[in-house]
């Protein structure tokens, strides 16, 4: 970071922009290589999936995979970071996905989409859609780890924060696109989803400081006269399609008690329940924790309980009815 340059804008805690147009990311720039994780025994490797855009992915497989012929659930994971920071190689994300894979016994593909400001939105959404197109390709089905261990008929999208937001939009796009005939989603796991709106709701009303902070994040990444009511960030704003026809069998929404985004996640769940059709809705609230707490402490007891709930969700436990719990 260059302290001698004049700062034009700082979007805490993500990025500092200078008057000459350069910028420094304030977090999420560290790198962890793929390989065998000695603690969880989960293996990972990087593959290039969209050469024209340089989009790669990190594939994870649990230790049990090589010892069994049973095919495992296939998860496409989208990391968070407000569309500004983090990659598939960010050490905290890498550690949390090792933990998730070990607990869920699933094959996970973590997608490395392009970020703001180098690549303005909707580049991240386009890259995530390209990842779904790749999943439907013969190339993906012939990739050795996926060919040998992944059950393409048990396909889930899972993401945290901005990644959960993109999972919603991907499922809505599948509803209307021919790709939806080839890519069938069993479910979506949304971890502290990044949805927002201009008019405050719930805790946002009592916390205008944090409301303004999140407002600034979105206005930085999305140039729109609708601000927080742009359909990309507010699925229930005027002109947004809502959740009707979401192209998946079920949705698990996970929020944290102290997260300023909590009430938006709860609203999303409630809208699914009100819809009364399509995707079955499940809800989990983590007591005493804030946004993406599991990234910072993936081995903690509450993170483990969350991973277990995701594992149960992907295993198909339950009768399809709406479920809520606090943990």
Q: What is the pLDDT of residues 89-116, one digit of tens each?
A: 999 999 999 999 999 999 999 999 999 9
Q: Above 70 in pLDDT, residue 1?
A: no
Q: Above 60 in pLDDT, residue 294?
A: yes
Residues in the chain: 327
Please give the positions annotated as active site. Answer: 161, 259, 291
Specify the pairing of strand 55-61 against strand 43-50: antiparallel
pLDDT tens profile 112-147: 999 999 999 999 999 999 999 999 999 999 999 999
Work out the pLDDT band at 318, boundaries 50, 70, 90: very low
pLDDT tens profile 31-43: 999 999 999 999 9
Tokens encoding 118 = 């180098």
Spell out the residues 6+ positions from residue 70 whose beta carbon is closer than 8 angstroms to its own: none
Q: Can you tell me the distance from the alpha carbon of 72 to that of 65, in angstroms, rounded to the nearest whole number?
A: 8
Instruction: Judge whether 165 and 194 are in contact, CB under 8 Å.
Output: yes
Q: Can you tell me the distance from the alpha carbon of 73 to that of 70, in angstroms, rounded to the nearest whole number?
A: 10
pLDDT at position 69 is: 87
Neighbours of 276 (CB within 10 A): 7
Question: Which contacts (CB < 8 Å, 24+ apart) does range 103-106 have?
Answer: 103/304, 103/307, 103/308, 103/310, 103/311, 104/73, 104/75, 104/307, 104/310, 104/311, 104/314, 105/62, 105/64, 105/72, 105/73, 105/311, 106/62, 106/72, 106/73, 106/74, 106/75, 106/156, 106/311, 106/314
Give mean pLDDT, residues 43-48. 98
pLDDT at position 319 is: 45
Mean pLDDT of the chain: 95
pLDDT at position 273 is: 95
Burial class (CB in 10 A: 0-12, 13-18, 19+), 218: buried
Q: Which of 68-72, 182-186, 250-254, 268-272 bottoms out in mean pLDDT, i.e. has the lowest?
A: 68-72
Specify the pairing of strand 72-78 against strand 107-111: parallel
pLDDT at position 316 is: 75
Instruction: Judge whether 190 and 261 are in contact, CB under 8 Å.
Output: no
- In sequence order, what DSSP letters do the residues of 140-190 get, joined into one string? HHHSHHHHHHEEEEEEEEEEETHHHHHHHHHHHHHHHSGGGGT--EEEEEE
pLDDT at position 322 is: 62
Phi-psi region of 278 (alpha: psi -120 to 50; beta: other; left: phi over 0): left
Above pLDDT 90, what percent of the chain?
Answer: 91
pLDDT tens profile 161-214: 999 999 999 999 999 999 999 999 999 999 999 999 999 999 999 999 999 999
């Amino acid at each position: 970071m260059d302290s001698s340059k004049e700062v034009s804008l700082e979007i805490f805690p993500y990025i500092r922009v200078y008057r000459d147009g350069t910028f420094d990311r304030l977090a999420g720039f560290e790198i962890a290589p793929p390989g065998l994780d000695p603690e969880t025994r989960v293996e990972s490797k990087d593959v290039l999936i969209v050469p024209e855009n340089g989009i790669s992915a990190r594939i994870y497989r649990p230790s049990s995979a090589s010892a069994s012929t049973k095919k495992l659930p296939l998860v496409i994971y989208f990391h968070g970071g407000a569309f500004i920071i983090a990659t598939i190689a960010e050490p905290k994300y890498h550690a949390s996905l090792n933990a998730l894979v070990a607990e869920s016994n699933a094959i996970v593909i973590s997608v490395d989409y392009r970020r703001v400001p180098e690549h303005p939105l909707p580049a991240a959404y386009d890259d995530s859609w390209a990842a779904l197109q790749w999943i439907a390709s013969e190339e993906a089905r012939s990739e050795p780890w996926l060919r040998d261990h992944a059950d393409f008929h048990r396909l889930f999208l899972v993401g945290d924060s901005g990644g959960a937001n993109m999972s919603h939009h991907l499922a809505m796009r599948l509803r209307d696109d021919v790709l939806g005939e080839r890519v069938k989603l069993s479910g979506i796991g949304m971890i502290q989803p990044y949805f927002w709106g201009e008019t405050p709701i719930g805790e946002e009303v009592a916390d205008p400081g944090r409301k303004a902070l999140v407002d600034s994040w979105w206005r930085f990444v999305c140039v729109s006269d609708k601000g927080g009511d742009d359909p990309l960030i507010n699925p229930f704003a005027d002109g947004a399609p809502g959740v009707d026809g979401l192209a998946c069998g079920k949705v698990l929404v996970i929020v944290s008690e102290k997260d300023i985004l909590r009430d938006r996640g709860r609203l999303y769940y409630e809208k699914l329940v009100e819809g009364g059709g399509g995707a079955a809705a499940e809800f989990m609230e983590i007591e005493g924790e804030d946004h993406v707490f599991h990234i910072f402490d993936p081995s903690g007891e509450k993170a483990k309980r969350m991973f277990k709930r995701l594992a149960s969700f992907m295993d198909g436990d339950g009768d399809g009815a709406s479920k809520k719990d606090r943990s």
